[in-house]
Amino acid sequence: MDELYWNRAIETMPRSDLAILQLSRLNRTLERAARSRSYRGRLPESVRSLEHIRDIPFTTKQDLRDAFPDGFLSVPQDEIVRLHSSSGTTGQATVVYHTRNDIENWAELCARSMYMTGVRKTDVFQNMMGYGLFTGGLGLHYGSEKLGSLTIPASSGNSKRQIRLMKNFDTTVIHITPSYALHLYTILEGEGIDPKKHLHLRIAFLGAEPYSEETRRKIENLYGMDAFNSYGLSEMNGPGVAFECTEKEGMHLWEDSYILEVIDPETGELLDDGYEGELVLTTLHREGMPIIRYRTGDIATVYFGPCPCGRTHRRISRIKGRSDDMLIVKGVNIYPMQIEKVLMDIPEIGHNYLIEIDNVDYLDTIRIKVEVVQEIFHGDIRELEGLKRRVVEELKNEILIRPQVVLVEPNSLPGSEGKAVRVVDRRTRIG
């Protein structure tokens, strides 16, 4: 640890050295993985160069589901100290098992990531992410403790208590969802607290929901702090896979711990840096449950060239969407996340919406239903029509299609708790 880097040797390692490290770790990973039921007989014993990784078949979400609960377990179960599991809302749940070393390495990546954004042991970290099976809470909790910051496991919700904790313990760093950050600000305002004057916040990790640059800047301005974007998925531990440095230009993906590939989601063909495609990741460090060439489903672009911060690990863009929920409407590719991102920027709407896609007389239509909840209703038609126009215009700028916006009564859409269904595609497939 020095002033700039948590681990200078690893973070600034020349790419040629990084490749050597990756190859040796990949071969160790292949050996470990071959001990699991699901990988047995499916993997080469070793590869001679990193390029040969492309001869190994992909591992998919479905493979993980089929192996429920422990087909990918590579060590005896008594070596396992923790498991995390997906909610299983969209199918069979998936489970990830961690050994003590896995937890330690994950904490190391989270500490490194947090340190990169400027968190130091003198900081007070209030973690407002949900704890439990969801990896967001515990991941950064362990990272922060590893780094040496005072860690407050506040978990999500209970705004009054969050505010009290921030005041009582001079919280400097928070981990929060963007929508909750905006909501919390209204509560602070109501209590006459100006975070810029009365609180000591300086860094925020925004996660668990898609959000735009505009939302980031808005939150930064409201609170007077730096907000950072990050990327993680439970199959690859959770948070700490990729994180922004203080340049805020893309997220460094920790290539000493993961092999990063980008593929065309349709053909599986490997893409060069700079081309948008699906991220494919291989764990290089994991003992309990190594995963080789995992198709994340996340669509992003790898940036060209080095970062001014001096780190050599490549950067990925924001996640544009998920390959498995891409919609083709009027011949245009649209990810629901793009729509969500726009709607999140319109405070009157928040999570109150449903996207419906229909086919009327052979023409695709996209319709956004928005609930006119009590908070936004002032009995004014002009206001409601203005809101409709604004949603149409801002969406058109993002997805290039003019949607129809329909205002509906409160509580007529699926609830905003958890992973509600927000896209309904009613088109009948032809052919």
Partner 1 sequence: MASQVTVFVENKPGRISKIARKLGDESINIRAITISDMGEYGLINIITNDPDKTAAVLSESGFSVSRKQVIAIVMEDRPGGLADISEYLHRNAINISNAYGFILEQGDKAVLILEVDDYARAEKLIRKGGFHTLTRDELHNL
- Interacting residues toward partner 1 by CB under 8 A: 372-374, 376-381, 384-385, 406-412
Q: Are 210 and 340 in contact (CB under 8 A)?
A: yes
Cβ nearer to partner 1, comparing 45 with 409: 409
Smallest gap from Cβ 247 to partner 1, in A, equals 44
Smallest gap from Cβ 414 to partner 1, in A, equals 15
Smallest gap from Cβ 392 to partner 1, in A, equals 14
Cβ nearer to partner 1, comparing 332 with 406: 406
- CA atoms of 305 and 314, how far apart (whole Å): 8
Q: What is the phi/psi pair of residue 300, to 5°? A: -160, 180
Smallest gap from Cβ 373 to partner 1, in A, equals 6
CA 312 to chain centre: 22
Query: With DSSP H G I counted as helix, E B as strand and the rest as coil, what are the percentages for the chain, rounded to 5?
Result: 35, 25, 45
Cβ nearer to partner 1, comparing 308 with 410: 410
Smallest gap from Cβ 382 to partner 1, in A, equals 9
Output the six-digit token pair for 362: 């052979």
Nearest to 397 by CA among 347, 326, 341: 341
Nearest to 166 by CA among 131, 128, 137, 129: 128
Give the residue carrying structure tokens 């407050």.
Answer: 152
Cβ nearer to partner 1, comparing 378 with 419: 378
Smallest gap from Cβ 338 to partner 1, in A, equals 24
52 three-state secondary structure: helix
Q: What is the DSSP string of 81-133?
A: EEEEE---TTSS--EEEEEHHHHHHHHHHHHHHHHHTT--TT-EEEE-SPPSS
Cβ nearer to partner 1, comparing 278 with 371: 371
Residue 236 half-sphere exposure, CB side, CA atoms within 13 Å?
31
Smallest gap from Cβ 54 to partner 1, in A, equals 52
Cβ nearer to partner 1, comparing 291 with 366: 366
Cβ nearer to partner 1, comparing 16 with 411: 411
